[in-house]
Amino acid sequence: MKDQALGETAKFSDPFVTAKGEERAEVPLMGAKTLWFNTGTLCNITCANCYIESSPTNDALVYLTADEVSGYLDQITARGWPVTEIAFTGGEPFMNPQMIEMARRALQAGYEVLILTNAMQPMMRPRVRAGLEALQADHQGKLTLRVSLDHHSAALHDAERGDGAFARTLDGMRWLRDAGIAMTVAGRIEFSETEAEARAGFAALYAAKGFAIDPDHPARTVLFPEMDASVDVPEITTACWGILNKSPSDVMCATSRMVVKRKGADAPTVLACTLLPYDAQFDLGPTLEEAERPVRLNHPHCSKFCVLGGASCSA
């Protein structure tokens, strides 16, 4: 498609060249460290700005099974991938009835396990809590839950996730603390405050609630920008790496892939990116061998979220 005013190809329309005809950057798989599994898009709540559109009714990505996860764990070994972490996201992973068993198999295979959760009712069911306690007892130091806490204030968190969500999530976090299960936090920084202000706010919250979470460590308190695909962002060319003083190894798809199962599909498939579950060009095929090919950065999220971080590719 041509831009009528500029006579250029529209941005992010060609996987190989940008709108200006420059070679688009690509990212090779440089040694996978994390294999993600999307356990399904069903969630107990509907958030105002969920990148994957999770809700109590969205089953576009259906529940994975423990046997399907085991199949990919076997592929990791067969392909010699240097994976150290198996991570589970959703939807809300604890909606999946096999979540505890999937985590158990990954832990038994020797991997560290990360589970993303809103720490609300699905996690707090007695069966799930008993399962988490058993995993913690059997695999000390190998299990971490990353809790979605959009803001350190109840008002702004609830504006995203619904009235009372903040209090229910804090209840879950207190249970995790008392059970001795390691937890980190994922928040957002699009609340008219600087990152430093946001981290200071989380620090105060952690201190008040007795949560042993480092507010300044980027992997312990992960702060994400809002992922608005309508925002105009530059495309990433091969020249950008030198201009930005960055490397393809800095981008998430250099070290990770995500497994999903689409509604109606016979088997799961592997995606290049956890942030782009519905874009067919980032579907690499059903096997890890097929998923070893490079990824062209042909989406606004690749630019704004993964590469630029507020920088610009212009010299």
pTM to 2 decimal places: 0.93
State residue 227's pLDDT score. Answer: 61
For residue 249, pLDDT beyond 80: yes
pLDDT band at 67 (very low <50, low <70, confident <90, very high): very high
State residue 189's pLDDT score. Answer: 83
CATH at residue 130: 3.20.20.70
pLDDT tens for each residue of 119-171: 999 999 999 999 999 999 999 999 999 999 999 999 999 999 999 999 999 99
Secondary structure class of 62 (helix, strand, coil) = coil
Residue 286 is assigned to a structural domain of this protein? yes
Residue 301 is assigned to a structural domain of this protein? no
Residue 229 is assigned to a structural domain of this protein? no
Domain that holds residue 144: 31-224+252-296
For residue 46, pLDDT beyond 80: yes
Residue 205 is assigned to a structural domain of this protein? yes
- According to the 3-state scheme, what is the secondary structure of 126-137? HHHHHHHHHHHH
For residue 182, pLDDT beyond 90: yes
Alpha-carbon gap, residue 43 to 165, rounded angstroms: 13
State residue 190's pLDDT score. Answer: 73
pLDDT average, residue stretch 216-228: 86
Residue 247 is assigned to a structural domain of this protein? no
pLDDT band at 304 (very low <50, low <70, confident <90, very high): confident
Strand 85-89 with 112-117, pairing: parallel
Residue 241 is assigned to a structural domain of this protein? no
- Yes or no: say if 189 and 223 are a contact pair by the CB < 8 Å rule: yes
- Higher model confidence: residue 240 or residue 3? 240
State residue 312's pLDDT score. Answer: 45
State residue 30's pLDDT score. Answer: 95
Residue 61 is assigned to a structural domain of this protein? yes
State residue 1's pLDDT score. Answer: 37
pLDDT tens for each residue of 7-35: 456 999 999 999 999 999 999 999 999 99
* Structure tokens, 173: 């976090």
For residue 252, pLDDT beyond 50: yes
> How would DSSP label each residue in 135-160?
HHHHSTTSEEEEEE---SSHHHHHHH
Q: How many domains does the chain have?
A: 1
Inter-CA distances, 42 with 63, 120, 185, 240, Å: 8, 14, 21, 38
Residue 97 is assigned to a structural domain of this protein? yes
Report which secondary-structure segment, H or E, holds 186. Answer: strand 182-188
* Structure tokens, 156: 């702004």
State residue 7's pLDDT score. Answer: 46
- The whole-chain average pLDDT of the chain stands at 92
